[in-house]
């Protein structure tokens, strides 16, 4: 999968309260959530971001609450993926589980400016800054997570495990 769009760059410790404030956590619909994505960090984000754009951020992106709607809100706003130096762990899991592509790439973050055009090859983790022509490589996911993503996310994995368990139960 190739992701291509404008980079919107932010700093360290972008927390889930600014990704989607608590006052909107009574919403479930991705599109409604998306209207408020990053509102408390950058009130213009929703206006300037076009579908397919990417977020580029420093360390500990997504720290704070376990609210899965944070990942959903970004998807709802049309964000195609997030490139960061590091991710907070619950957010990291939530992205894998909900299918928001994320890339850990410290050099890439330093080599991309706000507004640069970037292209990411999600399959091999290559990040290309089209504005400067520089290329970077994201950290590979551990094999287990690659398989999870390849199988179509956590719930598909659960379905297979349930079948395994059921047939083991039949044999027992």
Partner 1 sequence: MPRPMTQTEKILAAHAGKASVSPGDIISINLDLVMANELSAAVAITEFRKIKGATKVWDPAKIALVPSHFTPNKDIATATLSKMMRDFATEQHIENYFEIGRGGIEHVVLPENGMVGPGETIIGGDSHTTTYGGIGAFATGVGSTDIAAAFALGEMWLRVPATTKIVYEGSLQPYVSAKDLILRTIAELGVDGAIYGALEYTGPVVRDLPISGRFTMANMAIEAGAKNGIFPVDAVTEAYCAAVGKKNYTVYHSDRDAAYERTVVIDCTSVEPQVALPWLPENTRNASELSDIDIQQAVIGTCTNGRIEDMRQAAEILKGQKVHPSVRAIVIPGSQKVYSQCLKEGLAEIFIDAGCVLSTPTCGPCVGGHMGVLADGERCISTTNRNFRGRMGHVKSEVYLTGPYVAAASAILGHIGGPQQLEAAKVVA
Asked if residue 67 lies in contact with residue 120, where contact means CB atoms within 8 angstroms, the answer is no
What CA–CA distance (Å, rounded) separates 37 from 16?
10
What CA–CA distance (Å, rounded) separates 94 from 148?
13
- Interface of this chain with partner 1, residues 54 to 73, rule: CB under 8 A: 59-60, 63-69, 71
Instruction: Look at residue 133 and give its three-state secondary structure.
Output: coil
- Asked if 149 interacts with partner 1 (CB under 8 A), we say no
Instruction: Look at residue 119 and give its three-state secondary structure.
Output: strand
- Asked if 35 interacts with partner 1 (CB under 8 A), we say no
- Asked if 77 interacts with partner 1 (CB under 8 A), we say no
What mask of x and - would describe binding to partner 1 in positions 1 to 30, judged by CB under 8 A?
Answer: -----------xx-x-xx--xxx-xxxx--
C-alpha distance from residue 53 to each of 3, 8, 155, 163 (Å) = 8, 8, 27, 39
- Asked if 45 interacts with partner 1 (CB under 8 A), we say no
Nearer to partner 1 among residue 133 and residue 142 (C-beta): 142
- Asked if 107 interacts with partner 1 (CB under 8 A), we say no
- Asked if 48 interacts with partner 1 (CB under 8 A), we say no
Dihedral over Cα of 9, 10, 15, 17: its sign: negative
| Pairing outcome for strands 117-121 and 2-10 | antiparallel
Among 1, 155, 168, 172, binds partner 1 (CB under 8 A): 155
- Asked if 121 interacts with partner 1 (CB under 8 A), we say no
Of 138, 73, 81, nearest in space to 106 by CA:
138
- Asked if 97 interacts with partner 1 (CB under 8 A), we say yes
- Asked if 93 interacts with partner 1 (CB under 8 A), we say yes
Among 11, 31, 40, 139, binds partner 1 (CB under 8 A): 40
C-alpha distance from residue 156 to each of 24, 68, 159, 160 (Å) = 29, 18, 5, 6
Taking the complex as a whole, how short is the minimal distance between the CB of residue 31 and partner 1, in angstroms? 15
Q: Which residues bind partner 1 (CB under 8 A)?
A: 12-13, 15, 17-18, 21-23, 25-28, 39-41, 59-60, 63-69, 71, 86, 88-90, 93-94, 97-98, 142, 144-145, 148, 153-155, 157-159, 161-163, 165-166
């Amino acid at each position: 999968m190739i992701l291509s769009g404008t980079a919107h760059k932010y700093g360290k410790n972008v927390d889930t309260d600014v990704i989607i404030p608590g006052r909107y956590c009574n919403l479930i619909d991705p599109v409604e959530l998306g209207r408020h994505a990053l509102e408390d960090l950058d009130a213009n984000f929703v206006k300037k971001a076009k579908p397919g754009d990417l977020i580029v951020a420093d360390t500990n992106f997504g720290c704070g609450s376990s609210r899965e709607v944070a990942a959903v809100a970004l998807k709802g706003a049309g964000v195609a993926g997030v490139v960061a130096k590091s991710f907070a762990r619950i957010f990291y899991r939530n992205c894998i589980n909900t299918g928001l592509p994320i890339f850990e790439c410290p050099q890439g973050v330093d080599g991309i400016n706000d507004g640069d055009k970037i292209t990411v090859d999600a399959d091999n983790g290559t990040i290309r800054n089209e504005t400067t022509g520089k290329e970077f490589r994201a950290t590979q996911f551990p094999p287990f997570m690659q398989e999870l993503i390849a199988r179509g996310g956590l719930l598909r994995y659960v379905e297979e495990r349930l079948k395994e368990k059921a047939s083991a139960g039949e044999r027992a």
